[in-house]
């Protein structure tokens, strides 16, 4: 199971906080950590509807994107830190220029945000790197995904796809867990789940349905500022999800053969039961259901499953209370 902790903009533009997230995520057992690489001028024009009043700190969303930027040297340091603590370094570029920055920083996997699935210019740039690609399907129809996948297949790219719903926070009726199986049947690539619900339950459910990759937003506190905070897990919840998802993945890799219970032979002798009588009964007594009890262990009397065979039969000898009942005891 690949588990990806998405930091996104939870670092609030603070390089120090970003590095703190790397250390914190490394302790959760997650496989990878994912960032977003924004270069405001390259990805946004003055016509973008988001260029409106955004927060107490940012006059517009554009100013927010500017605050989320890091220098080339800082990205190199980010990549080095991820590798030092054993986390795969993943980022979502939102421009071709961002890909150039990430290549110099040593990014290991590219994530394509759902808003970029039809951006074949970006797909071309990322495919040229030869690195693995994870595609988010949040805003994409199957037709749009088919087009992007055909484009990437022509370039022999290695990619996986995540079922995702672009709604923050995603409600249970929006999870689209059914799409995991549909994607598995439709595409011959690893299929995962990108969660924006802010719950552990969604990821656990996706893992149980066979998702091979889980991506989820992470935040230090749900009281922090940011567009993804309500859709994020805390560090403690992240640890819980990672442990649960890994356990589920292990379980799915070890199916149980319910037609064979031979490994329980010894336990069955201990816990299964034999027929006994629940009161002292004389010879010749005609047994009824109310005379019978089942007592451990198996093998000291008739199997409890055979109780119907003895009802209406006469005792061949007197029995004391709690005596086991065997073939020789009935006529």
Q: What is the pLDDT along the chain (331 residues), one digit of tens a residue?
A: 999 999 998 999 999 999 999 999 999 999 999 999 999 889 887 776 665 666 778 788 888 888 889 999 999 999 999 999 999 999 999 999 999 999 999 999 999 999 999 999 999 999 999 999 999 998 899 999 999 999 999 999 999 999 998 888 989 999 999 999 999 999 999 999 999 999 999 999 999 999 999 999 999 999 888 778 989 999 999 999 999 999 999 999 999 999 999 989 899 889 999 999 999 999 999 999 999 999 999 999 999 999 999 999 999 999 999 999 999 999 9
Token match 């290991």: residue? 108
CA distances to 37, 110, 126, 164, 225 from 90, in Å? 10, 6, 13, 17, 23
pTM for this predicted structure: 0.86
Q: Which residues contact 250 (CB under 8 A, 6 or more apart)?
A: none
Radius of gyration of the chain (CA): 31
Whether residue 50 contacts residue 62, with contact meaning beta carbons closer than 8 Å, is answered with: yes
CA distances to 61, 182, 294 from 170, in Å? 22, 20, 52
Residue ranges of E strands in the chain: 2-8, 32-37, 88-93, 109-112, 133-136, 159-164, 191-195, 213-218, 232-233, 274-277, 292-295
Query: Which of 176, 132, 177 lies closest to 32, judged by CA?
Result: 132
Query: Which of 106, 154, 162, 160 lies closest to 129, judged by CA?
Result: 106
Two tokens at 44?
Answer: 């946004």
The helix or strand, by DSSP H or E, that contains position 104, with its residue range, turns out to be helix 96-105
């Amino acid at each position: 199971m690949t588990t990806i902790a998405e930091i996104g903009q939870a670092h609030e533009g603070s390089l120090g906080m970003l590095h703190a997230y790397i250390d914190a995520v490394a302790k959760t057992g997650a496989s990878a950590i994912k960032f977003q690489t924004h270069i405001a001028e390259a990805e946004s024009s003055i016509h973008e509807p988001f260029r409106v009043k955004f927060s107490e700190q940012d006059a517009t969303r554009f100013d927010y994107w500017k605050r989320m930027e890091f220098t080339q040297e800082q990205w190199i340091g980010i990549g080095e830190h991820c590798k030092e603590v054993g986390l795969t370094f993943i980022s979502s570029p939102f421009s071709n220029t961002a890909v150039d920055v990430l290549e110099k920083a040593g990014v290991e996997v590219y994530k394509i945000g759902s808003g970029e699935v039809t951006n074949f210019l970006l797909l071309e740039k990322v495919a040229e790197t030869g690195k693995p690609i994870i595609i988010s399907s949040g805003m994409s129809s199957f037709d749009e995904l088919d087009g992007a996948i055909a484009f990437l297949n022509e370039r022999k790219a290695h990619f996986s796809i995540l079922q995702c719903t672009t709604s923050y926070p995603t409600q249970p009726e929006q999870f689209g867990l059914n799409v995991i199986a549909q994607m598995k049947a439709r595409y011959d690539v690893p299929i995962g789940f990108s969660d924006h619900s802010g719950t552990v339950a969604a990821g656990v459910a996706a893992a149980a349905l066979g998702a091979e990759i889980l991506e989820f937003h992470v935040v230090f506190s749900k009281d922090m500022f940011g567009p993804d905070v309500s859709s994020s897990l805390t560090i403690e919840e992240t640890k819980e999800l990672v442990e649960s998802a890994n356990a589920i993945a292990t379980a799915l890799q070890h199916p149980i053969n319910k037609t064979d219970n031979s490994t329980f032979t010894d336990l069955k002798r201990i816990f299964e039961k034999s027929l006994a009588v629940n009161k002292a009964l004389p010879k010749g007594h005609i047994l009824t259901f109310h005379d019978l009890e089942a007592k451990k262990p198996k093998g000291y009397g008739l199997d409890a499953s055979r109780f119907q065979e003895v009802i209406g039969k006469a005792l061949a000898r007197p029995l004391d209370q709690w005596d086991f009942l065997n073939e020789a005891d009935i006529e």
